A and B are shown apart, each in its own frame.
Chain A
Amino acid sequence: MGAHAYHKPAAEMFQVSSRLKRTINVLLGVGILSIIISLILAYTGGSHEEAGHGGHHAVNFDKTRFWADILLSNWYFLGLTLGGSVFMALAYLTNAGWSIGIRRIPEAFSTYLPYAAAGFILIFVGAAEIYHWAHEGVTDPTSANYDAIIAEKSAYLNLPFMIGRFLAFFAGWFLMTRTIRMHSLAEDAEGGFFRHKRNKTMAGIFTTFFGVTWAMSSWDFMMSLDPHWFSTIYWVNQFAGMWVAAISTIMLFSILLKRAGYIQFVNTSHYHDLGKLMFAFSIFWTYTWLSQFLLYYYANIPEEAVYYFERWAGFKFLFWLNLILHFLFPLLMFMTRDAKRTESMIIPVATIILAAHFLDLYLCIMPGTVGQAEAGIYSWKFILEVGIFAFFAGLWLMVVTKSLSKINLIPTGSPYLKESVLHNT
């Protein structure tokens, strides 16, 4: 099959269009406004003080909600960022050829990591607002706040250890993804196999490191929001959600870049492959979701089932909507081959998956922090929650598109680029 007319694509530079700039500015503007209003509500509204659980201390739910929203957005965009890195690492490890042409997209995602780190440092500032285990006196038997179960876990759940872990994780992620991106960019001029092999090794190290650190991050930042509750599959479910969201984002970037006149060799076969991954991993997300739900529902042990009781009693509609958007919608829309190859089908599915990921995280975070009565989604304050998310979305887009605009959009030095350009299934 060597009869193809192969024209090696030339280097391309991406320019952030004025329309994109405007979109980003609107997102940031709306976001900053929402953050300011939320902060005013949280830190001036004395009338919002209400009696907390058991009357130990007054809880200002505007404050809790604000910090819960900050956590949601940070976790969401950390997921997209690392999801992109996992994508580029797995492409090396599996010797994938088809994805090389769009490799620069997930590579650019990884440049958000320092901003993600800053966002998480912010969370430590407000930790006591959302993490019950970070409250004063929960491990002190003489305190009114004493909690015997949390005290049992305090060897792991304590701020100094958590901050230490967090620094190690980010340092590792940052150094490894930077190295992979550096080799990939240097390859453009050099060609050959040297950088490729280096990256393969680094991808193996990164993937292993990521597996361990992602599991621990999921426990630290997400599972410990319900500090009495536990589930072994929790981190796998968190991974599945962010992974399918990251693939959907890569898909959207590919389509939009192609529409804007870049990476013209990207064709329906590339979409088909990304679409298969979206299809498969939205099912995988459901699989892990069901593993947790079904087993806890079935055994009906109060300590475990309480997690779903809260979500069932207070968020029943969203509980089902999550499954419909995250599972049923992609399943039915992407069932056929043609659907995965048609832009007008892909864009809504990818967008819905991204929205469903937001909803999924909302259901992970809110019941254990603000609870049903104060959840933003049941009042006008949901506008602020979406606004805060918009800020981080704008920031993420700004950082990622800026990184994209600084480099050659096509990995012209990759030894397997030809396979990606001639990809045709």
Chain B
Amino acid sequence: MYESPYRRPLITGDDTTYKKISDDIIIPVEAKPTQWWYMGFAISLAFLALYVWAIGYLLWNGVGSWGLNKTVDWGWDITNFVWWVGIGHAGTLISAVLLLFRQKWRTAVNRSAEAMTIFAVVCAGVYPLLHAGRPWVIYWALPLPNTYGNLWANFNSPLLWDVFAISTYLTVSVVFWYVGLLPDLASVRDRAEGMKKKIYGILSFGWNGSAKAWSRFEVISLILAGLATPLVLSVHTIVSMDFATSVIPGWHTTIFPPYFVAGAVFSGFAMVLTLLIVARKAMNLENYITLNHIDVMCKIIMVTGSIVGSAYITEFFIAWYSAVEYERYAFVNRMFGEYWWSYWAMMTCNVITPQLFWSQKLRRNITAVFIISIFVNIGMWFERFVIIVTSLHRDYLPSSWAMYSPTWVEISMYMGSMGLFFTLFFLFAKYVPVIAVAEVKSIMKTSAEKYMKITMEKEKAEESAQHSHESHHA
């Protein structure tokens, strides 16, 4: 397919070759980790230890060690669950939807985004597991034949739909990620020796790089992309229905499904940016994860942030328009009630900061992008907190009104889940090529700076030849 040389390059540098791409991306896997890696990994492990301790404490003492009460019976647990699920959205979006749309910039970021997805979904999954109270019988959530008579899971409950949606999503995401890894694991294998060669050989499922293997690889990628696309949408749709099917003002609103999906993509891309801005620097991958990639991702953040913002405003307007007293109160209470600070934190981080990305200068300023991406992560956490806690804490009965604040167990579990996330991410960055080597190579001829320059000169020469030809005839 022809690509205009006037487009922005996706691989920078004047000396790009196939060999150089392999070297640049695979050498970090082969070399000894840097001191920075060890330090980051150690900090992550420390947080992971906190996580294990907090969960142990929780299991020993029960869910009563959280700060929940009979009015606010969902708090940080569900907030963090939704936050992590949301972050787990960008990966499959990048891989699947952008593959279907033939977006070439996807090649540099899909691998790490998908890995991030899987780790985030793992972090998310822990919350409902623990919130169920008795994690050892969690399999009761599945519709399994049982000895209790006609006892089935409640198919009417969106919480059960969630079990199906998230487990399917996790499965397909893992398969999609791993299939994409096969050619690169084989590349590592071919460059390695000894034990390492054996391990990567097993991991790469005997990939031999034949035309047949590539053809199957292409087909399965497309099929998985087709399957994953509706799954990306379904997961957060159903998460939103955990709230929206209820009759609680602030939860029960029809825009929730698409608005949750947009919010998830929004936070997912923010997390991808946070991670990649550090990774590209630490691993010297600036030629592959270029400013142009960051620019495009900022645009997606701006668009999804605007969608989220317009959903907030729609909700607010319709709450007034509905003329339903409870709806109106719920929204005024968000803004000016006891938890006003969380509402305004959410509005600032989610509605105002992404609008800064209208400016191309800011989209290409690494420091600014990094800071804004953190803001978005914070804002999306507050969004879930606002939805969950402010809607619950004012019940229909004023006698049931209550306040909620987390205990150290909840806070430790949240911090600890980041430890789990980063531990997994550090391991990933060490043992697997963080960029899809084979896919980046596939766009080299059309989208590397070096080759685009050649094409441009050729086209200019052709054009001037044509012009002189025409003027000659005239």
Contact = CB atoms under 8 A, between A and B. Distances in A.
Given A215-B314, A303-B324, A418 B257 contact: no
Contacts of B253: 232, 295
Interface string B157-181: 0000000000000000000000000
B256 A295 contact: yes
Interface residues on A, range: 35 or more
A231 B318 contact: yes
A355 B321 CA distance: 32
Interface stretch (A13-21, A28-36, A286-294, A404-412): A286-294
A293 to B, nearest CB: 9
A221 to B, nearest CB: 15
Contacts of B310: 211-212, 215
B258 A295 contact: no
A149 interface: yes
B255 interface: yes
B245 A295 contact: yes
Contacts of B246: 299
B150 to A, nearest CB: 24
A419 B245 contact: no
Contacts of B87: none
B3 interface: yes
Contact of A232 (B7, B254, B445, B446): B254
Interface in B90-132: 100, 102
A296 to B, nearest CB: 7
Nearest to B244: A295
A416 B322 contact: no
Interface string A210-252: 0110010001000000000011111110000000000000000
B386 interface: no
Contact of B315 (A95, A232, A288, A422): A232
Interface string A267-305: 000000000100000010001100110111011010100
B314 A232 contact: yes
Contacts of A236: 255, 258
A9 interface: no
B314 A235 contact: yes
A292 B321 contact: no
B252 A295 contact: yes
A156 interface: yes
B245 A299 contact: yes
A342 B311 CA distance: 38
A287 B258 contact: yes
A291 B2 contact: no
A220 B446 CA distance: 48
Contacts of A276: 100
Interface residues on B, range: 35 or more
Given A231-B318, A299-B252, A419 B323 contact: no
Q: What DSSP secondary structure best describes chain B's contact surface?
A: helix
Interface string B304-346: 0010001100110010011110000000000000000000000
Contacts of B445: 1
Contacts of B459: 2
A415 interface: yes
B258 A219 contact: no
A418 B323 contact: no
A203 B444 CA distance: 31
A295 B241 contact: yes
B455 interface: yes
Given A215-B310, A418-B2, A287 B254 contact: no
A393 to B, nearest CB: 31
A425 B256 contact: no
Interface in A294-350: 294-296, 298-299, 301, 303
Interface string B1-43: 1111011000000000000000000000000000000000000
Contacts of A425: 1, 102
B258 A153 contact: no
A4 interface: yes
A147 B4 CA distance: 61
A204 interface: yes
A423 interface: yes
A351 interface: no
B1 A424 contact: yes
B358 interface: yes
Interface string B124-149: 00000000000000000000000000
Contacts of B256: 232, 291, 295
A60 B358 CA distance: 52
A419 B6 CA distance: 11
A359 B388 CA distance: 38
A208 B306 contact: yes
B233 interface: yes
Nearest to B454: A2
B472 interface: no
Interface string A92-128: 0001010000000000000000000000000000000
Nearest to A292: B254
Among A6, A156, A230, max chain B CB count under 10 A is at: A230
B195 interface: no
B181 to A, nearest CB: 25
B254 A153 contact: no
A287 B257 contact: yes
A209 B295 CA distance: 23
Given A219-B321, A233-B255, A418 B4 contact: yes
B247 interface: yes
A6 B314 CA distance: 49
5 contacts: A2-B459, A95-B7, A232-B311, A301-B247, A418-B2
Interface of A: 1-2, 4, 6, 95, 97, 149, 152-153, 156, 193, 204, 208, 211-212, 215, 219, 230-236, 276, 283, 287-288, 291-292, 294-296, 298-299, 301, 303, 415-416, 418-419, 422-425
Interface of B: 1-4, 6-7, 100, 102, 230, 233, 237, 241, 244-247, 252-258, 306, 310-311, 314-315, 318, 321-324, 358, 445-446, 455, 458-459
Given A97-B3, A232-B255, 17 more contacts: A2-B455, A4-B2, A95-B7, A208-B306, A230-B318, A231-B254, A232-B314, A287-B233, A291-B258, A294-B241, A294-B245, A295-B252, A295-B254, A301-B252, A303-B324, A415-B4, A416-B4
Instruction: Rank and list the top 8 A-B pairs by shortest CB-CB distance, nearest first.
Output: A232-B255, A152-B323, A422-B2, A233-B254, A291-B257, A233-B255, A230-B322, A292-B254
